[in-house]
Amino acid sequence: MAEYLTKVILDTSIYIPFINAGISHPVLELECKPLFYMSAVVIEELYAGAFDKISVKLLDRMYETFENLGRVIVPEASDWQKTGKVIAKFGQKYGFGKKFLSKTTNDVLIAFSARRIGAIVVTNNTKDFLRIKEFVDFEIYGEI
């Protein structure tokens, strides 16, 4: 099969095992050549969990690399609007508490951002993203 570039956004759940333990995700199993983008939501989540100077420096370098390549994807106002509507439906269907819905908000923003640029979301958090897929049409790759 011919190789082709596919836009990919890695979810936070892919970066954390790599940063903490050097465990990589089999994203290269995709039948394509990935072109990586960074979600502004993901970078925020990574910084929020960085508790030492080395981690912050690593994230600074990673962010600057994506920024310099023009590959940081920021949710637009319409992404936020649609996310609010999805979270309302999500909460009605699944009835989760505010803490879970807050985390889900970030994942929905990632899904809408990925859809807007035609990217696949690669995640280790497949269960939650499959639930989001009930409300948002986007591409996902992860273990089921």
> Residue 96 above 80 pLDDT?
no
Q: What is the pTM of this model?
A: 0.87
Domains of the chain: 5-141 (3.40.50.1010)
3-state secondary structure of 106: helix
> Residue 9 above 80 pLDDT?
yes
| 9-13, 38-42, 59-63, 92-96: least confidently modelled range | 92-96
Check: CB of residue 87 under 8 Å from CB of residue 108.
yes
Residue 55 burial (C-beta neighbours within 10 Å; 0-12, 13-18, 19+): middle
pLDDT tens digits for 102-129? 789 999 999 999 999 999 999 988 998 9
pLDDT given for residue 86 in this prediction: 94
